[in-house]
Amino acid sequence: MEAADSQELALLWHKFKKENDSEARERLILHYVSLVKYVAGRLAIGVKGHFELDDLINAGVYGLINAVDRFDPDRGFKFETFALARIKGAILDWLRAFNWIPQSVRNKARSLERALLSLEQSLGRPPEDHEIAAHLGLTLKQFHQMMDEVAPVTLISLEDSLYSDSDNESYSLGEVIPDPKAKDPVEHLELEEIKEVLAQAIAKLPEKEKLVTTLYYYEGLTLKEIGKVIGVSESRVSQLHTKAILRLRGHLSRKKKGLISLNGRG
């Protein structure tokens, strides 16, 4: 962003927050609407064939408006970071209202998650596809079909809240995956603990799963673009992503239960 644009935005924030200028508020919303299109475009991957991109964008606009209204420029945080989580949350709340993912598919995702954790613990390393298939009593082809079937669950439920603090702030898996570029200190000890668990889990991921996670969540690449980078098909990237996220969700679920158990003690 150019200096002049930055100064203009700062002026708009001042007019809206200090003077309650409704025109400044509207201009801020219009300026940042590209964030909604970005988030909706990425989430659309997981709901292809079920919902139109425009529907996701419309839902995300409510999240953007909420972010503009709640943002405090004086705290020194970037608005983009603040807004992305709320835009995602608004879209996901809208999607959840439809309960569009069959329970049977959710159950398969949980079964895979448990299998990955169990095998990793018994083998002392990430299991190979054929080992997971055997554990589940499936052929390799059936296992890959199962991975394709549960992919939307990992692309969407990835953003489900993992933890809420005393101020009713919620965090998603996408928010707490450690960003190697991040420099700002984390505000909450519990979130710091979760990030530590996640960092350890990511470090143990097979290289391709680790690379897919980084490229998708921090470089902003699509699954198709990642496929070109690492030399595999988009479908294979989706499977790698699914395994990585199910593995990470399993580790975080155990951590979350531990935090709840500790917080529940007298």
Express each pLDDT in 189-214 by its tens digit.
Answer: 455 666 677 777 888 889 999 999 88
Q: Is the pLDDT of residue 2 over 70?
A: no
* Fold classification of 3-96 (topology level): Rna Polymerase Sigma Factor; Chain: A (1.10.1740)
Residue 224: pLDDT band with limits 50, 70, 90: confident
Q: pLDDT at position 172, please? A: 54
Q: Is the pLDDT of residue 188 over 90?
A: no
Find the mean pLDDT for residues 41-70: 90
Q: Which of 92, 79, 70, 75 is nearest to 159 (CA)?
A: 92
Taking only the tens place, the pLDDT of each residue in 8-34 is: 999 999 999 999 999 999 999 999 999
Q: CA-to-CA distance for 8 and 74, rounded, in angstroms? A: 16
Handedness of CA 22, 27, 29, 30 (dihedral sign): positive
Q: Is the pLDDT of residue 184 over 50?
A: no
Q: Is the pTM of this model over 0.85?
A: no
> Structural domain boundaries of the chain?
3-96, 103-263
- Alpha-carbon 209 to chain mean position: 15
Q: pLDDT at position 260, please? A: 45
Taking only the tens place, the pLDDT of each residue in 138-170 is: 999 999 999 989 988 877 655 554 433 333 344
Q: pLDDT at position 168, please? A: 38
Taking only the tens place, the pLDDT of each residue in 60-114 is: 999 999 999 999 998 888 899 899 889 988 998 898 888 788 889 989 999 999 9
In CATH, 103-263 is 2.60.40:
no
The larger pLDDT score, comparing residue 223 to residue 209, is at 209
Q: CA-to-CA distance for 200 and 103, rounded, in angstroms? A: 31
CB of 45 closer than 8 Å to CB of 155:
yes
Q: pLDDT at position 266, please? A: 43
Question: Which residue type does 118 have?
Answer: S
CB of 172 closer than 8 Å to CB of 158:
yes
Those residues with Cβ within 8 angstroms of residue 236's Cβ, 6 or more apart along the chain or in another chain: 227
Find the mean pLDDT for residues 112-132: 93
The larger pLDDT score, comparing residue 262 to residue 104, is at 104
3-class secondary structure, 31: helix
Residue 175: pLDDT band with limits 50, 70, 90: low
